[in-house]
Structure 1
Amino acid sequence: MAVAFLFSEKLEVLFLQKKQKDTFFAGFLVPIGGHIEGNEINEPLKACLREIEEETGLKREFIENLRLRYIVHRIKENQEIRLQYVFFGNVSRINTLSESDEGSLTWVGYNEISSQNVSATTIEIVNHYKEIGKTTENVYVGSMRSLKGNPTITWGLLEDWEM
């Protein structure tokens, strides 16, 4: 998956409110984004931009500083390995947004995200960003796991060891 946390000038983040009848995260607020197509497998940014345009109508030229910030791994039922590329960028609220058939768009205050109906992964990413990520341009890799029955992510810095 490739998703984006798109910040407004008022430090709000654009989310998609999933429909109650959806089978995947029904009723949840989710970052803008979705699945990576086969021809995008080595280009998660391309997938993210496509998903942003599909879900919001925003074209690339209206998004500033869209950068890869997190890569999250998770194993589901000890069979399926899920990989999520997480980008952060900026958009102006003056842009006209287009609703998609996947749900409705809503702005959520950056400091209010953790109290909303969002996934554990979203909460962990937001918490890490608040503590560390917002002060650096580094990319972090996280492994989702259970800690005493609660979901958490163990983070590591992604670095080029040859530099």
Structure 2
Amino acid sequence: MIRARMIATAILFHQNDMLMMKRSPYRTLSPGMWAAVGGHLEPHEINDPESAVLREIHEETGLLPEDLRDLRLQYILIRLNQQEVRQQFIYTGRTGKRTVNQTDEGELFWIPREQVLNREIPFIFHRLLEHYFEHGPSPHVWVGTAGYEPDGSPAVHWTELVDPQQR
């Protein structure tokens, strides 16, 4: 039986630094690795991932919506992990506040952008950050699907999300 998991994540910047969490070694998903803040959508948030990401930001950092600027959906990642389809909504934004609360899910750090990719990051999130750093904020949403290159190496394939009725 294939299950589904929906996740909302925030890539937040303060000036040139990105907020990253060194996940607790006791976490179920990606223990001990570096990630952004975020988590699972609650049942009442299924049709509103922005509410979920705002809740997760507040729970994990203490930041409130008024502390954020330019928060917008930038990516949707879809992947199969064993018998689970994971759909992840990734928002990007900025904050003028550098002080954040700590969480029991891991330790939070502001990492200079040029050092972010040197961390131990889950493969699919690493590919997303590479794409974001190369293409920057975009006026559209990117959809990424995990798959393989012709040589068998893992890959994420990016497509611009468009409404064919609007062209």
Which of 29, 39, 42 is matched with 1:34 structurally? 39
Asked whether the 8 Å contact 2:35–2:121 carries over to 1, the reply is yes
- Give 2:131's aligned residue: 128
1:62–1:91 CA contact under 8 A, matched in 2: yes
Q: State the alpha-carbon separation in 1 of the partners of residues 90 and 43 from structure 2.
A: 18
The alignment of Structure 1 onto Structure 2 pairs a total of residues equal to 159
**Is 2:88 the partner of 1:88?**
no
The alpha-carbon deviation at position 25 of structure 1 amounts to 1.2
Q: Show structure 1 runs of 4+ deviating over 4 A.
A: none
Q: Structure 2: which amino acid aligns with 1:90?
A: R
Checking the alignment, whether the CA contact within 8 Å between 1:113 and 1:123 is kept in structure 2 is: no
Counterpart code for 2:12: L
How far apart are 1:21 and its partner, in Å?
2.5
- Name the aligned partner's letter for residue 131 of structure 1: E
1:110 aligned onto 2:116? no
Stretch moving more, 34-43 or 148-157 = 148-157
Q: After superposition, where does 1:10-159 map in structure 2 within 5 Å?
A: 11-77=16-82, 79-94=83-98, 96-132=99-135, 134=136, 136-147=138-149, 148-159=151-162
2-structure distance, mates of 1:123, 1:152: 11
Structure 2 unaligned regions, length at least 5:
1-6
Matches of 1:70 and 1:107, distance apart in 2: 21
Shift, 1:82, TM fit: 0.6
User: How far apart are residue 34 of structure 1 and its match?
Assistant: 0.6
| Structure 2 Cα separation of the partners of residues 149 and 29 of structure 1 | 26
Q: Is the 8 A contact 1:5 1:89 kept in 2?
A: yes
Q: TM-score, normalised by structure 1?
A: 0.91
Scaled by the length of structure 2, the TM-score of the pair is: 0.89
Q: CA deviation at 1:23?
A: 2.8
Q: Which runs of 5+ in 1 are unaligned?
A: none
